[in-house]
Amino acid sequence: MPDDTIPRAATTFEARLDKLAALAVRVGLNLRAGQEVVMTAPVEALPLVRRIAEHAYRAGATLVTPLIGDDQVALARYRHAQDPAAFDVAADWLFEGMAKAFAGGAARLAVVGDDPTLLSQEEPEKVARANRARSRAYRPALELITSFATNWNLVPAATPGWARQVFPGLPEEEAVARLWDAIFMACRVDVADPVAEWARHNATLQARTAFLNGKDYRELHFRGPGTDLRVGLAEGHLWAGGAEPAKNGITCNPNIPTEEVFTTPHALRVEGTVRSTKPLAYQGTLIEEIAVRFEAGRIVEANASRGADVLRRVLETDEGAARLGEVALVPHSSPISASGLLFRNTLFDENAASHIALGQAYTTCLRDSAGVAAEDLAKRGANASLIHIDWMIGSGAIDVDGITQAGEAEPLMRAGEFTGGA
């Protein structure tokens, strides 16, 4: 049913921002009356945060708790902290509280817009230690998110630091305005009824997942420049994409925007070489031209033209950090790819290209996984780690075959586009 609080054919910035906020609440979270919302966001995103709070309360939220971050405060730590051991400290109390909230049914909403190069000039060892400490502290909350214990959503906001990276050379105000335009386009906000448009988009993604689940491929074979990679799929894997039901019974859209369908690889059955097709922005560091080699599911060689030290430290986070927890397929013709922009933001760039993720697996992408012990899921191929980091391996030059249970190769993607029923 149309929501008359959302302007039709809205063209002003304020109206478009309001439509994005409504979309985050109604489609992203699909918020239910009586739920709390825990929201993280950069300080520059406060106008969107405030509108999201308004729509959340209109939808029946009992409490919206915003947790606001600031780049300058983050930088102050690296430049002025006196004790080297400070980089082994994380806000455990905060993440424990977030995990308690999610376990109690609170929805999680993250407004993202980080400067992808914020920490690129800081000491890699400090960055690695701080990231490792944060990953450990965040683990209880991350496990609840990756297992879909509650409804959650990521939604973007343009910030000056991010806009400078996407539109270098433009005056800051113009760069931010251009980035907002790109966000509204990618999020399907610039239509008369975004909610109805997302229903159509979700139907397309769900038809694709149904096709792939019917195929039940044993593995995927990626081929292209610098890439000859075989990704074995976990036993009893399921493909997912778009709107997904959380364990609390609420169907949500975890990512806005989204163009991917994804599943769980087998942590021990990945072989070959792969080269990234877009830079990876990871917690303030830009990692470019990643090239790795897998043996028996584990990365045994890793290089990058920029950020190589950070990449290697990421891979050393724990035993599962050098193994895969996700493989995703995205058509090269997706709107984000067609924009021609390099967003340097994983939420966008992962939806411009097929990708893989290091680290923690989404156990919801395994049949009959509810209540199953972690060690039993591991036997089926599910990876476990403190991290979950997506990086892009797809392009218009990449072909993908689906390998059947009988070992036969079927064309699944050619030149980055789906073939046949997919």
Same domain (yes/no): 149, 221: no
Q: Phi and psi at residue 239, in whole multiples of 5°? A: -85, 145
Number of independent structural domains in the chain: 2
Same domain (yes/no): 264, 363: yes
Give the CA diameter of the chain.
60
What one-letter code names the amino acid at 304?
A: A
Would the CA dihedral through 311, 317, 323, 327 be positive or negative?
Answer: negative
Same domain (yes/no): 396, 297: yes
Same domain (yes/no): 387, 282: yes
CB atoms within 10 A of CB 378: 16
253 is a domain residue: no
Same domain (yes/no): 387, 270: yes
Local confidence pLDDT in tens for the 422 residues of the chain: 334 443 334 479 999 999 999 999 999 999 999 999 999 999 999 999 999 999 999 999 999 999 999 999 999 999 999 999 999 999 999 999 999 999 999 999 999 998 988 988 899 889 989 999 999 999 999 889 988 999 999 999 999 999 999 999 999 999 999 999 999 999 999 999 999 999 999 999 999 999 999 999 999 999 999 999 999 999 999 999 999 999 999 999 999 999 999 999 999 999 999 999 999 988 778 899 999 999 999 999 999 999 999 999 999 999 999 999 999 999 999 999 999 998 988 889 889 999 999 999 988 899 988 788 989 999 999 999 989 999 999 999 999 999 999 999 999 999 999 997 67
Q: Show the domain range for 106.
A: 13-186
Same domain (yes/no): 176, 286: no
Would the CA dihedral through 22, 185, 342, 224 be positive or negative?
Answer: positive
**What is the Cα–Cα distance from 16 to 8, expressed in whole angstroms?**
10
